[in-house]
Amino acid sequence: MAKQTNAFQKLIHHIHEKIENTNANVTEEAVLLEKNIESPVKRKIDVLIEKEVNGNIAKIAVECRDRAAKDDIEWIDCLIGKYRNLDVHKVIAVSNKGFSKSAFLKAKANGIDLKTIEEAFQIDFGDEFHQLGLIYISHIFKQEKLSMSFNPPLKKIPSLKALVYHNGLEIGDLDGLANFCFEECPKKKLIPYFKRNMLNLFKTKADTERRVLIENTIPIRELYIEADGVKHFINSITFTLIGIPTTQDIKVKHLTYEGALITEGVFDIEEMKEIHTAWIAQLPKNREARVFVKSKPGKIKK
């Protein structure tokens, strides 16, 4: 493997040296199980660096390659596929000859750091776990699909103009019912959903730029439509929503205060006309990081 050459042996030594007093562990030729497939597969990693951060084990993978020419997009494609189902938080790919332009673009879009062997020697691997970043994410949700369940089932999909009844009284049409349910249920549940699932949805910067698919089913009671003289009661309405993201990188600076690691960033959101200052503080001997945000009216001067 590439790391067995003299240059990569020196890189391994450099990594060990930089994490020596950080409570992190380094494993060469580490093995992780690929998840989310029917039969988990063992995958080898050139170098795996692990450290407990906020009660969880954070993992950084370092992949090394020693070739006669620049590494191209094919290797990046292989790494994207390899790490899609591996529990790794960051991937650093190191090449002794550098990378092609297409490799850089593909890696950047998928959250993989590319380094030459010389650049890798400049990394303070002990600080890699502390380099928290801030990003502002906003989503516009569009309805991708709408489906309804009836009892008894209908032979064909009804028109949204079909009238809806309750105890023999007309209360509107299916279109109006669907719009009412959307406003009252999926739309109001989106923010709580994102708060509950933030860490699962957005593990890397690349994840923040992907579209989000959300499905929400709303049970319906005692409402029905009529078709061919038969009452068909509405059991539920299911909404499939696509979240189209826009992101804003926030410039940050990293500080230490009495042992706490602090990441600070200042940003504004045009439509809100406010300046926000955010701090993420990882307290010493504490399993959790704390987030503080202060807002005031105004706009950052460019």
* Most confident option among 50-54, 121-125, 139-143, 230-234: 230-234
Domains of the chain: 2-120 (3.40.1350.10), 135-247 (no CATH), 251-297 (2.20.25.110)
51 Cβ neighbours under 8 A, 6+ residues apart: 19, 22, 23, 24, 25, 57, 58, 129
CB count in 10 Å sphere of residue 164: 20
Neighbouring C-beta atoms of residue 62, cutoff 10 Å: 28
Report d(CA 109, CA 207) in Å as an integer: 10
Q: What is the Cβ-side half-sphere exposure of residue 278, based on CA atoms within 13 angstroms?
A: 18
pLDDT over 70, % of the chain: 84
Report how far residue 135's alpha carbon sits from residue 280's, in angstroms, rounded to the nearest whole number: 12
89 residue type, one letter: H
Pair of tokens at residue 238: 């299911």
Residue 183 pLDDT > 60, yes or no?
yes
Q: How far apart are CA 111 and CA 89, in angstroms?
A: 10
The dihedral sign for the CA sequence 105, 108, 114, 119: positive
Give the pair of three-digit tokens for residue 282. Answer: 């990882």
Alpha helical stretches, state H, the chain: 6-18, 73-83, 101-109, 117-120, 174-184, 186-201, 205-208
Predicted confidence at residue 3, as pLDDT, reads 47
Over the stretch 243-293, which tens digit does the pLDDT of each residue have? 888 877 777 776 667 666 677 888 777 666 778 887 777 666 555 667 777
For the question of whether the overall pTM of this predicted structure is more than 0.75, the answer is: no
